[in-house]
Structure 1
Amino acid sequence: MNQQVGETLSVVVEREFAFPLEKLWRALTQPHLIEEWLMKNDFKPAVGHRFNLRGDWGGVLDCEVLTIEPNKSLSYTWNFANDDAAYNLTSVVTFTLTATGTGTHLRMEQSGFRADQPKAFGGAKFGWQKFLENLDQLLARND
């Protein structure tokens, strides 16, 4: 498929969790839990709330809550400014939860990668696998 000018790429990771929807939702929306699996933050589950995610590497992501449907979906901006334009990122992360017979299906999509951002795109593909592994471990510990 040829990419159109201005077309963006998305990282999508889908994962099954052997935990109830409500438990997963709490881990996505409570700051002390978000810190355990993702990054330090000042998140509040309120549309329009601006917050930062602070990575271990020293980077800071500027975020704003876009949508919240309790126990269903959550989306927020995920923006990173850097001296290296290849790493500047304006994107949106969306989590969608669906109850299953054995737990919860989580779909995470980070959209907005430009075609000239292969390192940022590759980093996100790797990073989200790790973040969701951390999330699974957190949920198992707090069972």
Structure 2
Amino acid sequence: MNEKGTERDVYEAVADFNRRKLLRLLADVEDLPLYELTVHFEMGRTAVSKHLAILKEAGLVTSRKVGRETRYRLNATPLKEIQDWVSFYEDFWKERIAKLNHLLEGQKMKSDVSLDFQFTSSIEQVWNALTDTDMLAKWIWENDFKPVVGHTFQFRAEPNEWWNGIVDGEVLEVEKPNKLSYTWESAGEKTTITWTLTKSSDGTHLHFDQTGFSEETKATKGALEGAKYSWTKFGEQLEKVLEQ
């Protein structure tokens, strides 16, 4: 009800399917008489007329006399109240769905291996050790790495009877000197390596994430612990290189 208490509530007016159908018909054709509206319903003119009266009380329909005939026209202005109400909840759910997607994405990308290192070297020095080919060779393996998004590269270690010694990769993200990400593919397993660098009061904090291991690998006893052990050793080598 409005402030005068005489007009019908717009929500009540559109709650009925038949009245919503009348509004749609009047939206398609600007001006219609009762008999042309009635042919679209399985009810008589009296019933249609009653529905039109309810719509008129809500201000959604206007009428005018043309000779002995009454013609009806849509007035969509009161529908803005419904639009505003729906828009509020649309924004409400958009925000929550966005948060849910963010949460699900975070769960999907949860690190399989996560390590933290602290170095006394500057963030620029640590970044150089992560991205320079010659520096990488000192603490990981020989390589043709370049910190350029889209660049494909290889790390080449000494092969053995179980492994060919090759790691293929592609650079995914470069945010000098704070973030570096690339794929790490070897022995049929493709994961993503992400290094995150932040300045600290006594040097540089380096965070390592490795994500994307297959469920089969995760289920293999000791597989992730083996990866964690290897990257811990690499981190120790990196520290030695930085101290030189």
Specify the TM-score bucket, using the shorter chain as the normaliser.
0.7 to 0.9
Pair 1:28-2:150 in alignment: no
Residue deviations 1:16-60 (CA, integer Å, cap 9, x gap): 111110000000010000000011100011100000011234410
Match of 2:96 in 1: none
Identity across aligned pairs (percent)?
39
Equivalences for residues 85-104 of structure 1 within 5 A: 88-104=188-204
Q: Are the aligned partners of 2:183 and 2:190 in contact in 1 as well (CA < 8 Å)?
A: yes
C-alpha distance in structure 1 between counterparts of 2:141 and 2:109, whole Å: 29
Q: With structure 1 as the length reference, what TM-score do the two structures score?
A: 0.85
Larger Rg: 2
Higher relative contact order (CA closer than 8 Å, sequence separation 6+): 1
SS at match of 2:129: helix
C-alpha distance in structure 2 between counterparts of 1:140 and 1:120, whole Å: 31
Match of 1:61 in 2: 167
Number of residue pairs matched?
130
2:190 is matched by which residue type in structure 1? T
C-alpha distance in structure 1 between counterparts of 2:184 and 2:214, whole Å: 14
Q: Which runs of 5+ in 2 are unaligned?
A: 1-107
Q: With structure 2 as the length reference, what TM-score do the two structures score?
A: 0.51
1:14 paired residue among 87, 112, 116: 116
Which structure features the higher share of strand residues?
A: 1
2:183 paired residue among 77, 87, 106: 77
Which structure features the higher share of helix residues?
A: 2
Q: Which runs of 5+ in 1 are unaligned?
A: 1-5, 82-87
Pair 1:114-2:214 in alignment: yes
SS at match of 2:232: helix
C-alpha distance in structure 2 between counterparts of 1:109 and 1:55, whole Å: 21
Pair 1:39-2:141 in alignment: yes
C-alpha distance in structure 1 between counterparts of 2:174 and 2:111, whole Å: 23
The 1:7–1:68 alpha-carbon spacing in structure 2 relative to 1, beyond 3 Å, is closer
